[in-house]
Amino acid sequence: MLTDSGPAIDQSALEDLAALLLERAGLKISPDGFYGLRLALRAHMPALGISDSGDYVHRLRQAAGEHELRSLLPLVTVGKTDFFRDGRQFHALEARIMPDALLEARHARRRVQIWSAGCATGEEPYSLAIVAAELGARPKEIEIWATDLNAAAVESAKVGRYPGRRVAGLTEARLARYFTPFGDGYEVSPTLRELVRFEGQNLAAPVFAKVLPGSIDVILCRNVIIYFDLPTIRGLMDRFFVALRPGGLLLLGYSESLFKVYDKFQMVEIEGSFIYRRPKPGERATDIPGLLGSALKKAEPPPKAHGHSKAAKPHKRGHGEKPAPVRRAPAASARAARAEPAVHQSPAERLEAAMARSERGEFDEALAEVKQLIEAEDTDLDAWLTLGNLNSLMGHAAEARDAFTAALAIEPLCVEARIFGGVAALQIRDLSGARAELQKALFLEPTLSLGHYLLAQVFEQSGAAEEARRAYRNALAQLRFPQRELAGHYPDMPDSPETIARAARYALAALEER
């Protein structure tokens, strides 16, 4: 855990850095976030042997400092989080998972261990603490261990004070019972604090020295693996697998999935939520304990629909230069799930169905279905991105922009929001807007060939032939790195490496001819 000690950091250096992050990554750091910037600088400057914060920021401005600037991003951003985020999962936690865990632990005379991994500013672990308190659990019966990489977020979580708008999702009764008014907002009560232990922890670290094998009943790691590439996700899942008790559960984010990524867990359905489970000895990962619906028993890979199925697609956004993780795939086949009531369709399947409609030309219906999905879960990034793309294709430029802004509010470093925002700007011939968006995408993910290809198109349309050539060549050069499919749907986006290579070579040849 970082402390407030270390090299002195000038206010003017922080302001310069905030301006630089806005310019390069489109990241808005409010003065509230300066404390996080300060901690990040204190953590990083000594490793480079720099003691003057002005010198450090000067270095970040140079081309050679780009990598270092990018490495600060996870330390200075926290994606969206909320109390009781994903109501269906919390229903499962309240109705089944936590009561069962408490009962089992009481019989075994041990404490229930729950780990909120990537706890951000504490809303998730405090929500778990509320559920535990409502189930009558005492601190000696349950511990909620809450960890995050971002030191400023962990500190703020420990303080446990939230402005009024951040507690808006809590019922009056819970607010009155578990919080006390503090200034313009609320502070968590000692009852909740006693149940939660916060710590700094990097989930990408190769070893979890503080975790005893087989000791954790439930892990929540929601909306975190979006930051990781595929090897990092697999390594993390191995560590989670070892950390969980046999029969222990892992909850990922609403649209995150391990389909074709990691197969040691079973997938079970509990109260309408799909949840991963470490099999007990003698069970195989594919054995489905009695919790599952029939659709999942027939689990098979979803058919590739219309050439851009979202099943098992590689995905990453934001913080790194590495290839993307694979996620957000349903465990059941789209066919099997379609035979089930809508509640059994995963978000990915519902989005896929909406896109199938758009490909039949039923744009209004597709739009309505995507909006419905967002009504069910307003932090579904795939759905927001798809909504933006549909709106852009239908000529609703302002609505498209709003949807990408919403995606960025959920995940401030969402590469896709920048890429699709760039495409939407191109659509209305806002060339400077398109260029700005695509350059931000490429700052976040320099190896994304599609980004270079689209930027080349912007240059070409601006009449800048030399820059266009260079960008097309960059698009080809980046193909030596593994490329990922983007989150969200955009019909007919030339996003496979082969298509990009062909299109870039063709465009280059056409430019040479001119």
**Chain residues in the site for ligand SAM (CB under 6 A):** 74, 78-81, 85, 118, 120, 124, 148-150, 153, 202-204, 222-224, 227, 253
Q: Which is nearer to ligand SAM, 150 or 386 (CB)?
A: 150
- Which residues neighbour 312 within 8 Å (Cβ) at sequence distance 6 or greater? 259, 260, 261, 301, 326, 329
CB of 135 to ligand SAM, least distance (A): 21
CB of 223 to ligand SAM, least distance (A): 4
Q: Which is nearer to ligand SAM, 119 or 292 (CB)?
A: 119
Q: Residue for token digits 């990241």?
A: 27
For 26-138, strand residue ranges (E) read 112-117
Closest CA to 497 of 459, 434, 452: 452
User: What Cα–Cα distance (Å) separates residue 70 from each residue in 419, 442, 451, 465?
Assistant: 18, 11, 17, 29
Q: Which is nearer to ligand SAM, 148 or 485 (CB)?
A: 148
Q: Which is nearer to ligand SAM, 76 or 331 (CB)?
A: 76
Structure tokens at 260: 């074709």
CB of 219 to ligand SAM, least distance (A): 11
CB of 325 to ligand SAM, least distance (A): 12
Residue nearest to ligand SAM (CB): 79
CB of 379 to ligand SAM, least distance (A): 8
CB of 310 to ligand SAM, least distance (A): 20
Q: Which is nearer to ligand SAM, 81 or 255 (CB)?
A: 81
Q: How do 179-182 and 185-188 pair as beta strands?
A: antiparallel
Question: What strand order describes the sheet that includes 112-117?
Answer: 196-200, 142-148, 112-117, 216-221, 244-252, 273-277, 266-270
Residue 390 backbone dihedrals phi, psi, to 5 degrees: -60, -45
Q: Which is nearer to ligand SAM, 195 or 220 (CB)?
A: 220
Structure tokens at 63: 């081309």
CB of 226 to ligand SAM, least distance (A): 8
CB of 202 to ligand SAM, least distance (A): 5
Q: Which is nearer to ligand SAM, 27 or 288 (CB)?
A: 27
Residue 225 backbone dihedrals phi, psi, to 5 degrees: -70, -10
What secondary structure does DSSP assign to 350-400, as a single string?
Answer: HHHHHHHHHHTT-HHHHHHHHHHHHHH-TT-HHHHHHHHHHHHHTT-HHHH
Q: Residue for token digits 């310019």?
A: 23
Q: Which is nearer to ligand SAM, 235 or 279 (CB)?
A: 235
